[in-house]
Each structure stands twice: as structure tokens, then as C-alpha cells.
């Protein structure tokens, strides 16, 4: 992708001169109206640098660069003005987070070299951001896969619960829903300390031993301690730590935190995980929801309302029995997938994607499964 530079100045002659200096080096766009420049920001084709005049109609350069930063925070910002007093310079740097402050007239070499420096700064910031995102993504996926390998039941539970968490975060209007998705993926990491069969027994509604109960109550904090060692994951660790906390203050951790003081992610995980647990033993989603209502005080009432509305959405699914080779992403398992030897392979309520469908094909080939599978299929227009 070519490096793009935006030049903003209310004097067309100045823009033409600046453009000539840079046109052989970069892809240049110009705008005389700062408000139009803001409206035309394309996040899919970001600018590496923006150069703005100070004195312009409608808004000055500092106001413009402040607004520009909100829409494109990684773009390097430069100020070019003929009104070079100390007060404006200080305001430009402090308020507009300006990378360089240049004065008119600015000779060709100085201007070009400063723009080159601005582009290098942009490349440095974005490269670091991509590295961090890839490292974070890889670390999360690795930990999630380890959890699923060591404790398959926990891995399946994560895959089911992610759908509920995505729905609830959407209803709450959260903007950083990636954090909640990561919290879900890592929420069962601490279950690796549990004795074998604990999660399976939990899903089957069996009573846990006192030792199992004690270890189960510890698993969120153990996961939190591991996760906070990774960069940028402290708030996600806090969500995970409170996944067993009731809205009324019951549950763990045993502290005075309750109600809306509990991290939203913790409240969402508590409801989503409990609903999934109820669904494993209930005949349908409505009966699972009724089980939750027996302990209504432990759930965020607004989230409970949204969950109930989700059941209406899921009611618009059609039950179909299809050959396993006709499974498609977006379908939801309506029954457990059991091997011909009676082993549990995948639990009901799991939303299928390409990876899970490939696993089903592998199961069919290696261990044998029923040739037809009952699934929920979204009705057309739903």
C-alpha cells in the first residue's frame, strides 16, 4: 500500500507548493476545509502523516489535529504556520500532540525531511502495534488450545459460551468486544488444576466433592494470576477473576464487591457460563432459562433481560437433521455428537465453524459417528 500524506491549508497556492515537494515520494491528498478533511478519513486507507496550517476558518489547526487524532490515532501530526509564536507552539505540542512544529516559509529540504521523519514515526508505531497484536493473539490462542487439549470439556464449553458473550456484549453496546472474547477464551485456563472429569461432572449435573468444589472456586483467580503476566491483559484478568461472583455479592472472590462494581466482563461470564451449564441438562433453552430464574439475584438484571431476548432470536432457528458432510458454519448442534463406541466428542449448543466441521469429519473417519446430525439452522430472514 502506498504511503499517503494529507495536506490541509485554506490557501490553495500553499497546498499546490507543498504538494509539488512531496508528489514524487508519496501519494498526496489535499484539502482546504478542515471539516471536510475529517469527514473524508478512510480508516481502511490511513494517512501516515497529516500536515496542517494553524490559522484556518471553522477550526484552527490545533482543534483540527485533536479531532483527527480521535479518528486516526496512529497518523503522525505536523503543524505548519506563519504565526510562529511560543504560545501556539506549546499549545500545538501539548493539546494537539504534534510531532513537529514548522514555520512558514519553510524551505524545501526542511519540509521534506520532517515529513520523512513523520512517516518513519508512523511506521514505527504501526509496526510495534502489529507486533503486539500478533503476539497477544498468538499467546491467547496458544493458551486456549492448551486448555482444550488438556481439558477437552473446558475447551468445548469455551466454544459454546463465546456465542452468548458476543450477543450480550453487542446488546450492551460495548466497543472493545475483543477484550470480552479474549476473556471468554481464557476463562477456563485455571480449570487445568481440576481433577480429571470435574468439568464433565459439572456439565452432567453431578455433585462435586468438597475438594473439587474448593479447586473449582479457585480456578478464576489462578487464571487471573497467569493472564496478568501478559501485556495489556490486566482488565481481562479482572473479568475472569469475577466469573463466579454473584450480582448480589455471593460467590467468589469473597470480597465486598457486588452489583455494577463487578467488572462487566465478570457479570457477562457468570450469566453465560451458568446458562450453558443449565442448557446441558435442560431439554431446551426456555427450561434452562427458568433454572437461572430460580437464583435471579445472582445475575445482572439487565443482562438477564438480554439473555431472555436471545432466546427469542434462537427461536427463529429451524431444527434439521442433515448428513455430517452437509454441515455449514453458523449451524448449532442440537444434540451431542457421540462416537459409535459411546464417547462424548462434541456437546450440544456448540456453534459450528470450519475448524469444528473439520473435526467432525475427522471423527467420522477415525472413530465413527452417526452419519446424520441434528442441528439448528437459521431461518431465512431471521
Helix (H) or strand (E) holding 356: helix 354-366
pLDDT at 379: 60
Only one residue has cell 468439568, namely 199
Q: For the segment 92-115, what is each residue's pLDDT rounded down to a tens digit?
A: 666 657 888 888 778 888 889 999
Nearest CA-CA partner of 227 in 139, 301, 300 = 139
Which grid coordinates belong to 281? Answer: 441438562
- Which pLDDT tens digit goes with each residue over 205-261? 788 888 888 888 888 998 898 888 776 788 889 999 999 999 999 989 989 999 999
Of 159-168, 245-254, 334-343, give the lowest mean pLDDT range. 334-343
Per-residue pLDDT of 24-82, as tens digits, reads 898 888 889 888 888 888 877 889 899 988 888 888 888 888 888 888 888 899 988 77
Q: Which of 113, 123, 110 is nearest to 47 (CA)?
A: 123
Which set of grid coordinates corresponds to residue 29? 491528498
Grid cell in block for residue 255: 470480597
Please state, in angstroms and rounded to a whole number, the distance separating the CA atoms of residues 279 and 268: 16
Starting at the edge strand that comes first in sequence, how are the strands of the sheet with 49-52 ordered? 27-31, 4-8, 49-52, 76-81, 100-103
Query: CA–CA separation, 167 vs 164, rounded Å?
Result: 5
Instruction: Decide: pTM greater than 0.75.
Output: no
Quote the Cα angle for 244-245-248, to 5°: 145
249: left (phi over 0), alpha (psi -120 to 50) or beta: left
Domains contained in the chain, CATH given: 4-127 (3.40.50.2300), 151-315 (1.10.3210.10), 316-382 (3.90.105)
Return the closest-CA partner of residue 304 out of 271, 273, 282: 271
C-alpha to C-alpha distance for 165 and 178, rounded to whole angstroms: 11
Helix (H) or strand (E) holding 308: helix 301-314
Amino acid at each position: 500500500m502506498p504511503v499517503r500524506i494529507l495536506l490541509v491549508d485554506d490557501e490553495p497556492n500553499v497546498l499546490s507548493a507543498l504538494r509539488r515537494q512531496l508528489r514524487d515520494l508519496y501519494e498526496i491528498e489535499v484539502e482546504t476545509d478542515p471539516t471536510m478533511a475529517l469527514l473524508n478519513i478512510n480508516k481502511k486507507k490511513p494517512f501516515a502523516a497529516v500536515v496542517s496550517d494553524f490559522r484556518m476558518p471553522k477550526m484552527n489547526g490545533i482543534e483540527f489535529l485533536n479531532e483527527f487524532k480521535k479518528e486516526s490515532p496512529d497518523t503522525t501530526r505536523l503543524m505548519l504556520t506563519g504565526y510562529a509564536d511560543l504560545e501556539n507552539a506549546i499549545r500545538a505540542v501539548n493539546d494537539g500532540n504534534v510531532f513537529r512544529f514548522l514555520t512558514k516559509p519553510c524551505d524545501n529540504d526542511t519540509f521534506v525531511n520532517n515529513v520523512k521523519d513523520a512517516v518513519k514515526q508512523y511506521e514505527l508505531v504501526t509496526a510495534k502495534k502489529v507486533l503486539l497484536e500478533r503476539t497477544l493473539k498468538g499467546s491467547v490462542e496458544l493458551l486456549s488450545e492448551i486448555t482444550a487439549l488438556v481439558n477437552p470439556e473446558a475447551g468445548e464449553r469455551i466454544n459454546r459460551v463465546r456465542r452468548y458473550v458476543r450477543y450480550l456484549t453487542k446488546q450492551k453496546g460495548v466497543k472493545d468486544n475483543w477484550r470480552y472474547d479474549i476473556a471468554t477464551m481464557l476463562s477456563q485456563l485455571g480449570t487445568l488444576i481440576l481433577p480429571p472429569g470435574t468439568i464433565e461432572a459439572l456439565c452432567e449435573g453431578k455433585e462435586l466433592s468438597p475438594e473439587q468444589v474448593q479447586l473449582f472456586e479457585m480456578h478464576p483467580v489462578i487464571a487471573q494470576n497467569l493472564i496478568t503476566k501478559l501485556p495489556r491483559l490486566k482488565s481481562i484478568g479482572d473479568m475472569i477473576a469475577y466469573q463466579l461472583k454473584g450480582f448480589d455479592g455471593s460467590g467468589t472472590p469473597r470480597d465486598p464487591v457486588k452489583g455494577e462494581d463487578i467488572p462487566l466482563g465478570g457479570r457477562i461470564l457468570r450469566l453465560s457460563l451458568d446458562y450453558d451449564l443449565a442448557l446441558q441438562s435442560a431439554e431446551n433453552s426456555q427450561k434452562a432459562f427458568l433454572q437461572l430464574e430460580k437464583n435471579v439475584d445472582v445475575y445482572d438484571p439487565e443482562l438477564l433481560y438480554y439473555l431472555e431476548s436471545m432466546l427469542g432470536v434462537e427461536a427463529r432457528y429451524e431444527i434439521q437433521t442433515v448428513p455430517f458432510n452437509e454441515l455449514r458454519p453458523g449451524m448449532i448442534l442440537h444434540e451431542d455428537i457421540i462416537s459409535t463406541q459411546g464417547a462424548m466428542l462434541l456437546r450440544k449448543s456448540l456453534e459450528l465453524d470450519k475448524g469444528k466441521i473439520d473435526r467432525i469429519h475427522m471423527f467420522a473417519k477415525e472413530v465413527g459417528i452417526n452419519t446424520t446430525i441434528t442441528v439448528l439452522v437459521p431461518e431465512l430472514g431471521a
